[in-house]
Amino acid sequence: MSTAEIISWEPATGAELWRGKRGNVDEVVSRARRAWPAWAAQPLATRMELLRRFANEVRKDTEKLATMISRETGKPLWEARTEVESVINKVEISIRAYADRTAQRKLDNALQGTSAVRHKPHGVMAVLGPYNFPAHLPNGHIVPALIAGNAIVFKPSEKTPATAEMLINCFHRAGISAAVVQLLIGGPEEGQALVAHEGIDGVLFTGSAHAGIAINRKLAARPDKIVALEMGGNNPIVVWDTPKVTDAATLVVQSAFTTAGQRCTAARRLIVKSSMYDALVAEVKRLSERIIVGAPFDDPTPFMGPVIDNQAADGLTESFLYLLSHGGKAIKHLVRPRDDLPFLSPAIIDVTGVKDRPDVELFGPLLQVIRVNDFDEAIAEANSTRFGLSASLVGGGPTEYNRFWANVRAGVINWNRPTNGASSSAPFGGVGLSGNHRPSAYYAADYCAYPVASNEMEQPRAMIGVGLREE
């Protein structure tokens, strides 16, 4: 039985941060349905101007919002600030993307009149956000959906409601109706009720594959509802021939351990050429041992904070022990300095000898290493997953990269760059269990409005030229 309240705890201290009552799904959706027609009827220029005002409200609250993100997720303050910057930048990127991806087109067909393509909003959209980027990732759905003319019901992760509340207040202060953008506090039960609600026209989700698949299954008989799923990955970073071992190791560490490994694009598997193995792994280990793990506001500044909660820390510890007991060789042990708080050291384990390696997203600072002998084997290992979000090749030349790009199944494929840090000015999404072919970021406009084709004439003009009896 769920409690009447949702409580948010600070991962770094264990202290209570926020509490609030669960929302009423029927009431929230009903209110959004009543508000939507007037919002959709606003001129596009008006909606864009209000979103720009939202960006200014966030700008005014940058430090306050960054501090809240740090307290609620445990991520270092420097990283929380970059998240707030992404929230602000999303507005201009989304305005540009809407003009590009959903542009109005007219073609004069002389005696046939005019043919036109315009776009309409879907209606009331449910946005379900994750805890790792509690402002930026839901905002990446909300802003383009509002520009297109949709109303929003946003249910944040039950682990990060305080950040969500601050974000939604910025929309309201900007002059966007509190009925057009609503916050629904709740846990899985409220999320499930929202997804299944008859008054919802679409579901925009970022989170685990488990939850995304459940949404997909729930709406399998409802092709009338738009569903966009972004579900994470078991991402490979392949290191091939390069003299720049330190740079390669730095890219591996950035890919695996930024945000304590709690990014859907984080590198989970390091696939390395045998001849590069000793030098690279030694350098990755050396750099990982220098990483400062600490609370968000510590001095010196930490690179990594805790994972989100003790349950996540317990699961990662169990996963490390499982790999160790099934043939894995520890390169750098997973260390948990305190049992009562979810701080973990970066961990590295060689799983080359592990048979039937589990194809799961281990959402934390745990890097698995696989040694291979040739490039075909590296590509096969990279593709040895049901996921397909991001992949990077470090080293090699243009020939190897062309082969890598052509043969690796992923929606984000990089060369000599980390697996994470994707640009909002490009599409973002994956294949397999990483998504349902509805990429977000720059392509979010595609799922926020649908195209309408029209043939138009100012006066009716018609004749039937064949098959009629003479009068």
Q: How many CB atoms lie within 10 A of CB 257?
A: 28
Domain-wise residue ranges, the chain: 5-231+435-456, 235-415
Q: What is the pLDDT of residue 471?
A: 84
Q: What is the pLDDT of residue 84?
A: 98
Phi-psi map region of 101: left, alpha, beta (phi>0 left; psi -120 to 50 alpha): alpha
Edge-to-edge strand order for the sheet containing 347-350?
A: 329-332, 347-350, 366-372, 267-273, 235-239, 390-394, 412-415
Marked catalytic residue, from 230, 283, 361, 400: 230
Cβ-based burial of 466 (10 A; exposed 0-12, middle 13-18, buried ≥19) = exposed
For residue 366, the cross-strand partners are: 347
Q: What is the pLDDT of residue 244?
A: 98
Distance CA 91, CA 368 (A): 37
Annotated active-site residue 264? The verdict is: yes
Cβ-based burial of 133 (10 A; exposed 0-12, middle 13-18, buried ≥19) = buried
Within the chain, which residues score under 50 in pLDDT?
1
Residues in the chain: 471
Residue 443 DSSP class? G
Classify 66 as helix, strand or coil.
Answer: helix
Class of domain 5-231+435-456: alpha beta
Q: What is the pLDDT of residue 220?
A: 97
Q: What is the pLDDT of residue 109?
A: 77
The separation between CA 200 and the C-alpha centre of its own chain, rounded to angstroms, equals 21
Class of domain 235-415: alpha beta
Q: How many CB atoms lie within 10 A of CB 59?
A: 14
Q: Are the beta carbons of 67 and 12 closer than 8 angstroms? A: no
Q: Are the beta carbons of 76 and 304 closer than 8 angstroms? A: yes
Marked catalytic residue, from 10, 264, 361, 381: 264
